[in-house]
Structure 1
Amino acid sequence: MTDPLQAYSASQLAFYDFMFTRFFRRHMRALRVPGWGMPEVPPGVPLVVFASHPSWWDGVAFMLLSRRLFPERRMFIPMEAVALARYRFMRRLGVFGVDTASPRGAAAFLRTARQVLAPERNDMLWMNAPGRFADPRERPVPIAPGLTRLAELAPEACFVPLALEYPFWTERKAEMLAAFGPPLHGGALQAMPREARARALAMALAEAMDRLAEEAIRREPARFRVVEQGKEGMGGIYDRWRQLRARMAGRRFDPRHEARD
């Protein structure tokens, strides 16, 4: 198996960050993080971000959030080996394959995770906590066994829950909402029996998910920090006509559906 730390390419990552950002702006309205949901991570410690997994968009969210909120750290992401075979370019972005169907695959994941989370490194491991797609309303939140084991390998690490949602509000495009919960210390998790550790991880993630769901229901953009802005409005001929009308009337054109012409 290719060593993900050796395969990582900063130049490739910068290129695909540009491509992912363009794709996001075309298809999403905005990436928003509520004020309480910004990450609070002590410097100089290994970092594990364990996220909910509601959508295909989660990979794009990982790229945008990691590059904008943790620019000084390299991100590594485990991915089902069969799926990664269809997206080989991702190996250059820190994504590494995991064979979840075999004990050897699980052992390989833990070896790579131990490398990434070594105390002398400034890297971070991001992973979808359930290990599968899971509706954000599913309770208890499923936790993959590999995540539960990580505290045994990296008690110095900081474990940060990340809630993700993609609701539609007033515009044609969906919102990408993200919120980080309070970090859990690896040493405290390591001291717990595995079942209790899994419950602690699930509860921390569920709390962030529940709080983010409340924000999604409120539909108040002012409560969020915009991390990345997408294009507003309907686009196409209809918006060009609206823009022309606004210009003829001497008004500033606002493409949003909620704006008044």
Structure 2
Amino acid sequence: MIPAKKNKYFDFVFTIYLKRLLKSSFDKVYWHSKIDIPSSPVLFIANHSSWWDGLLFHHLSRTVFKHDLYMMMHESGLKQYPFFRRLGAFSVNRSHPKDILRSLQYAEQLLQDGETVCLFPQGDELHIEKRPLQFQTGAAYLVEHHPEIPIVPLSFYYSFGHNKKPEVWIQAGRPLYNADLFGNQRKDKTQSLEQICTLQLDELKGRVVHEQHALFSNLI
């Protein structure tokens, strides 16, 4: 397991670079949330369909959340792009169960230390329209061990509108706690969480299709 190695100066420079990169790559980055994101540590989760997802989390942390994020990332990806460690990425190798446990224990310790963690329960990048979402059990594991920590589910949806560059639409759901997830077993709670996130993603898709721009603010 490769731990994060945050660097504040690198983070500052990368934040400026990322803002310019998003402006050059997207026409709009739309954001919508019915609730205020908790200021205390949270576990952010989201569907995972694009290389951009992790970068968007970083942008959100500097424009909306004001949280200092740590993010679980594939070991192969982190080895390919090691600079992500300096932004708070740590690795997981899903081909080795012991490594998965070490990564979850690392995330658990971060939450215990008052940090905010984000992960993608699908584990791999899957097509945005693929159903079921096929969540892994990591998020349920973490909230079992920290039932006081809320899960804040985000949905990402990429779309081409009426301009040359694509748009990305992001929607936040209400905070969820371990007690809000149905079932007593981790597998059942994972399925409950997957169902909630599926409904939220499909709701966001409907808003994109019907071009409900008025509900959203633009982050670039």
Q: Distance in 1 between matches of 2:117 and 2:195?
A: 20
Give how far 1:223 is off.
2.6
Aligned to 1:41: 37
Distance in 2 (CA, whole Å) between partners of 1:155 and 1:190 is 14
- The residue aligned with 1:32 is 30
Matched, 1:23 2:18: no
Check the 8 A contact 2:78/2:91 in 1, yes or no: yes
Larger radius of gyration: 1
Q: What CA distance in whole angstroms lies between the structure 1 residues aligned with 2:170 and 2:143? A: 24
Which of 56, 68, 88 matches 1:74? 68
Partner deviation per Cα, 1:10-66 (whole Å, 9 max, x = no partner): 2211111111111111111111013xx35533443x311110111111122111112
Q: How many residues align?
A: 220
Alignment partner of 2:56 out of 41, 61, 64? 61
The residue identity in structure 1 corresponding to 2:6 is Y
Counterpart of 1:173, as a letter, is: K
* Aligned AA (1:67): R
Q: One-letter code of the match for 1:33?
A: W
Q: Is the 8 A contact 1:136 1:209 kept in 2?
A: no
> SS at 2:159's partner residue?
coil
How many angstroms does 1:190 deviate by?
Answer: 9.2
Could you tell me which runs of 5 or more consecutive residues in structure 1 were left unpaired when the two chains were aligned.
229-261
Residue 105 (1) aligns with residue 99 (2): yes
Mapped pair 1:9 → 2:7: yes
Overall identity of the aligned pairs, in %: 25
Instruction: Tell me if 1:141 matches 2:137.
Output: no
Residue in 2 that maps onto 1:127:
119
Question: Does the aligned pair in 2 maintain the 1:151–1:190 contact within 8 Å?
Answer: no
8 Å CA contact retained: 2:154, 2:171 = yes
The equivalent residue for 1:157 is: 149
Amino acid at match of 1:217: V
> Quick one: structure 1 residues 218 and 30, their matched pair in 2 at CA, closer, same or farther if it must change by over 3 Å?
same
3-state SS of 2:11 partner? helix
- The offset of 1:196, in angstroms, is 1.7
The verdict on how the C-alpha distance between 1:187 and 1:10 changes in structure 2, with shifts beyond 3 A counting, is: farther
Runs of 5+ in structure 2 lacking a partner? none
Please tell me the residue identity of whatever aligns with 2:56: A
Question: What corresponds to 2:85 in structure 1?
Answer: 91
Distance change >3 Å, CA 213–CA 156, structure 1 → 2: same
Partners of 1:156 and 1:187 within 8 A in 2: no
Which of 94-103 and 133-142 deviates more? 133-142
Counterpart of 1:114 in 2: which secondary structure? helix
RMSD (CA atoms): 1.8
Matches of 1:13 and 1:180, distance apart in 2: 24
Cα distance change of structure 1 residues 102 and 196 upon mapping to structure 2, 3 Å threshold: same
Q: Which digits, 9 at most, give the CA deviation of each residue in 1:66-107, with x for residues without a partner? A: 211121x21001111111101111111000111111122112
Distance 1:103 1:179, change over 3 A: same
Question: Structure 2 length as normaliser, TM-score?
Answer: 0.92
Distance 2:182 2:106 in 1: 19
